[in-house]
Homo-oligomer: A and B are copies of this chain.
């Protein structure tokens, strides 16, 4: 149901929490007791991670069953029943916190992403995430962004070229950097270059790059950049994007808007697990 790398995250997270044993549950809950638990929304949000939530219980005890009521990507209202867990009560209790920690973070990311996506509806701009994810949870953070309607930027340093200011300075200018990129590693990837001003935009255009990132530019400057580029490259707006200004940026006509906040400053969605012994 989930991929091997996600399974590994779940296993490690259970090990981190349970360590040498859940000393409370072992003492107070008979191992044979069965139970049922309801995952209930305590707020309005976009559901993301219900499969991860499910797999966490199965990973702890493969006989625990989880019935999914709401699918990933759906919006729920406060009070909605999202999933129903049944099986060994002690197993459910041991996995409860980890399953919720994962589920609430992912749903929090999806919910915030959905707000950004909603804000730019009608414009061509797609909302991109960044590499500002929580270390060792990137695949889940990125999955949550997709479930919220966003689009993934490169996953890591290995699957996309993004020539930033530091690379440009080290290479001795945009042209030199782009040439070095094309020569040293001529893999079949698109080349994106970060620019800080219109002069740099022009240079990037002359180099024939595939995507131009407008980094931390004001809305008026970005407007001029879009005019300059005139469809000869894709354009990504980046830096200081907020729910307040994202629509204005989209209105300029950029292709992508990347938002670090989606994953670096997440408010966990509020989900509770109501457990009942049978």
Residues of A near any B CB (own CB < 8 A): 3-5, 9-30, 33, 35, 89-90, 93-94, 97-98, 100-102, 104-105, 108, 126, 131-139, 151-164, 166-171, 177, 180-181, 183-190, 192, 210-211, 234, 256, 264-268, 275-277
Interface contact A210-B188, CB-CB below 8 Å: yes
Interface contact B159-A158, CB-CB below 8 Å: yes
Give the one of A90, A153, A169, A177 with max B CB within 10 A. A169
Q: How far is the CB of A20 from chain B (nearest CB, A)?
A: 5
| CB-CB nearest in chain B for A14 | B4
Give the oligomeric copy count.
Answer: 6
Interface contact B234-A188, CB-CB below 8 Å: yes
Interface contact A19-B19, CB-CB below 8 Å: yes
Kindly state the separation between the CA atoms of A138 and B134 in the bound complex, as whole angstroms: 12
User: CB < 8 Å: which of B4, B21, B24, B100 contacts A11?
Assistant: B4
Kindly state the separation between the CA atoms of A22 and B184 in the bound complex, as whole angstroms: 13
Interface contact B160-A189, CB-CB below 8 Å: yes
Chain B residues within an 8 Å CB radius of A161: 23-24, 27
